[in-house]
A and B are shown apart, each in its own frame.
Chain A
Amino acid sequence: MNCSPFDLKDYFLKELTDPQQRQVEAHVLTCSACREELDRLRLTGVALCSLRDEEIPQRIGFVSDPVFERSWWAAFWASPARLGFASAAMLSVAILVLGLTHAPAVFSSRTFYSRVEVDRRIQAAVSAAESRQEQKTTQLVHELVERADREHNSRLIAENQAERLQEQNYQLKLGDGAYVTPGAEQGGPR
């Protein structure tokens, strides 16, 4: 038994932290029993270290033997490039599946036009569009003119009727013996 703060064997075996080691070292300075125990452990260690390691009588070495080599598949699977290979393989499969499930686009010779023909067709389409637009514009202008004429005629008829009504009223007032000037019927000078 010893009174050290930590086991002296742990100290001797270097299993203590630095602060713990310092505590043990401080303790053995003042405790003769622990100091003697630690000395015995150190002497044991010195004795044990007198037994030297022996040289190995025969060096161990290996030669490359196909028996112990990995298969090409294992070597491939262990290589970092396997992800790249896997991605390329998946992409190839996807392209293949797409090619098999979707019919390829067919271009007939009828769909191809010469440049002159294309220009001619564009010109014809533009002319047709312009012609339609011009026709619509002419029709619209014509309708507007007609509507304006109708409104103008209606206004003239209405004004004519109003003048005739005023004339009739004026004649009726003259017949009653009162002189009323047109426009001064309400509050005007007499």
Chain B
Amino acid sequence: MIFRAVEDADLIQQAARGNVESFNLLVSRWEKRVYNYLLRITGNREDALDLAQDVFLKAYQNLRKLDDAGRFAPWLYRIAHNEAYSLFRKRKPETAVDNLEAEAGSAGIAVGGRSVFPIELSLAVAGALDRLTPDQREAVVLKIYQGFKFEEMSEILECPVSTVKSRLYTALDLLKADLAPISARGVS
């Protein structure tokens, strides 16, 4: 008897034929990643969970439209991106951005002049991420935390690779200015 790991492609194929159990297995593999992506771009756990459920429901309903199972991840994150921005549009866009900036201000902590503990570093990172624009933050989340390539990010965000790189490079410069000194103290 030969045992073989069930690939995502197998599950996608079965789920596309209406097999709910296969889709549930697929969800269990991706829900944590999608939830954390949504959490980092919305900054709200409830919103992230609600959006994650909507994302997987839409994915199930549209799974047959996915031509290439190998492109499942960018396709799924594209749905997640659209759902998140749909939520932002439902609320006043300026409010969403303002809230994020206000949260960023409150999350920022003074760490100068002394070594930092991991929890403090995490809070500093959260604050630095919050100070980015939503586009820059999403680019960082997709690249650093989700590990997508520029081409895949371009597909998810529906913008040219040059735009993706521009957002990411600007964000990295800002994060570097904020975090590199803190991280250096934490390491030392």
Q: Once the chains bind, are B168 and A13 in contact (CB under 8 Å)?
A: yes
Q: Once the chains bind, are B126 and A43 in contact (CB under 8 Å)?
A: no
Q: In chain B between 136 and 179, which residues have their CB closer than 8 angstroms to a CB of chain A?
A: 140, 143-145, 149-150, 168-169, 172, 175-176, 179
Q: Once the chains bind, are A47 and B149 in contact (CB under 8 Å)?
A: no
- Shortest CB-to-CB span from B62 to chain A, Å, is 11
B residues contacting the other copy or chain, number (CB 8 A): 49
| Minimum-distance CB pairs A-B, first 8 | A47-B183, A47-B179, A43-B183, A40-B180, A56-B35, A43-B180, A64-B20, A53-B36
| Interface presence of A175 (CB below 8 A) | no
Q: Specify which chain A residues have a CB less than 8 angstroms from the CB of B99 in the assembled complex.
A: none
Q: Specify which chain A residues have a CB less than 8 angstroms from the CB of B64 in the assembled complex.
A: 78
Residue among A13, A44, A52 with the highest chain B CB neighbour number at 10 A: A44
Cross-interface CB contact of A46 among B53, B126, B187, cutoff 8 Å = B187
Count class of interface residues, chain A: 20 to 34
B residues with CB within 8 A of A: 16-18, 20, 23-24, 27-28, 31-33, 35-36, 39, 45, 49, 52-53, 56-57, 60-61, 64, 118, 121-122, 124-126, 128-129, 140, 143-145, 149-150, 168-169, 172, 175-176, 179-180, 182-184, 186-187
A residues with CB within 8 A of B: 9, 12-13, 15, 40-41, 43-64, 68-70, 75, 78
Q: Once the chains bind, are A46 and B183 in contact (CB under 8 Å)?
A: yes
Q: Evaluate whether A63 and B20 lie within 8 angstroms (CB atoms) in the complex, with A43-B180, A48-B125 already known.
A: yes
Q: Once the chains bind, are A54 and B36 in contact (CB under 8 Å)?
A: yes
Residue among B32, B49, B172, B175 with the highest chain A CB neighbour number at 10 A: B172
Q: Once the chains bind, are B18 and A60 in contact (CB under 8 Å)?
A: no
Q: A43-B180, A62-B24, A68-B60 are in contact. List 10 more A-B contacts (CB 8 A).
A: A44-B175, A47-B124, A50-B121, A53-B36, A53-B145, A54-B35, A60-B27, A60-B56, A61-B27, A62-B27
Q: Specify which chain B residues have a CB less than 8 angstroms from the CB of A59 in the assembled complex.
A: 28, 31
Q: Once the chains bind, are B31 and A60 in contact (CB under 8 Å)?
A: yes
Residue of B nearest to A49 (CB): B144
Q: What are 13 A-B contacts with C-beta separation under 8 Å?
A: A9-B169, A13-B143, A15-B150, A43-B184, A47-B128, A47-B182, A53-B36, A59-B31, A62-B23, A69-B18, A70-B18, A78-B16, A78-B17
Q: Specify which chain B residues have a CB less than 8 angstroms from the CB of A50 in the assembled complex.
A: 118, 121-122, 125
- Shortest CB-to-CB span from B39 to chain A, Å, is 6
Give CA–CA (A68, B53) in the complex, Å.
Answer: 15
Q: Once the chains bind, are A44 and B179 in contact (CB under 8 Å)?
A: yes
Cross-interface CB contact of A60 among B53, B125, B150, B179, cutoff 8 Å = B53
Q: Once the chains bind, are A44 and B172 in contact (CB under 8 Å)?
A: yes
Q: Once the chains bind, are B32 and A56 in contact (CB under 8 Å)?
A: yes
Q: Once the chains bind, are B31 and A43 in contact (CB under 8 Å)?
A: no
- Shortest CB-to-CB span from B106 to chain A, Å, is 17
Q: Specify which chain A residues have a CB less than 8 angstroms from the CB of B182 in the assembled complex.
A: 47
Q: Once the chains bind, are A54 and B39 in contact (CB under 8 Å)?
A: yes
- Shortest CB-to-CB span from B107 to chain A, Å, is 12
Q: Specify which chain B residues have a CB less than 8 angstroms from the CB of A55 in the assembled complex.
A: 32
Residue of A nearest to B39 (CB): A54
Give CA–CA (A46, B125) in the complex, Å.
Answer: 10
- Shortest CB-to-CB span from A170 to chain B, Å, is 122
